[in-house]
Amino acid sequence: MSCSLDGYVADASGDFDWGAPSQATHAFINDEVRDVRAFVVGRRMFETMRVWDDWPPGQGEAEDEFAEIWTGIDKIVCSDSLDAVDAPRTTLEPRLTPERVAEIVAATDGVVEVSGPTTAAGALRAGIVDEITVRVLPCVVGGGLRLLPDGMRVDLVRADCVPLDDGSVFLRYTRR
C-alpha cells in the first residue's frame, strides 16, 4: 500500500492519484510483489486493480511487467456487496475472518498479501499479520481513508527502509 505522510491511502474525495509511482519506483514495487502467490483484497482494491487484468502492452516497461505479475497471482476478493467477480484467477469471499485468512495462508505455497486498509484491518486486529509494508509519499492530504485502523496497538521492528527516486520511502515492519 502507498500512503500520504499523514497516513491516508486516499484523500477525502477518494482520490489517490498523488500516489502514482515513477518508472523506477514501479520497478521496485514489481520486485516486492514478485514472490506473492495470493492477494487478498477488498471490493474497492479489486475494482482499482482490475485494470491490470486487461492491461494493454506497450504502456511502459514497469507497468507491463506488473500486469504480467498480477495476472499470474491468485486473487481473493472479500466483499459482501458483490455477487460475483469476473476476473481470471479470482474468487469471491463474502466475509474475511481470521480463521479464513489462516486457511488461505495454509493452502497457498508462498506469500499471501492482504491489501487494502479495510480488508487488512480485521487481520491486523486479529494479530495474524507477520509484516506490514508501506510506501510513504511526501505529501499531506489532510483526511480520507486511513492506512491503519483506529484503536489498534502493535509493537513493530523496522526490517527495511528504502528511499525511492520519487521522494517516497518504502518501509517494512515485522512484529516485535
Q: Which domains does the chain have, with CATH numbers?
A: 2-7+22-175 (3.40.430.10)
| 132 SS3 class | strand
**2 CB-near residues (< 8 Å, 6+ apart):** 9, 16, 19, 21, 134, 135, 136, 137, 168
Nearest-angstrom CA–CA distance, 28 and 75? 21
> What are the two backbone dihedrals, phi and then psi, of residue 89, each rounded to the nearest 5 degrees?
55, 30
All 3 cell numbers of residue 29?
514495487
Handedness of CA 72, 78, 82, 83 (dihedral sign): positive
pLDDT 10s digits, 119-149: 888 888 888 888 999 999 999 999 999 999 9
The average pLDDT across 42-64 equals 93
Confidence of residue 1 (pLDDT cuts 50, 70, 90): confident
pLDDT 10s digits, 3-40: 999 999 999 999 999 999 999 999 999 999 999 999 99
Lowest mean per-residue pLDDT among 31-40, 63-72, 108-117, 137-146:
108-117
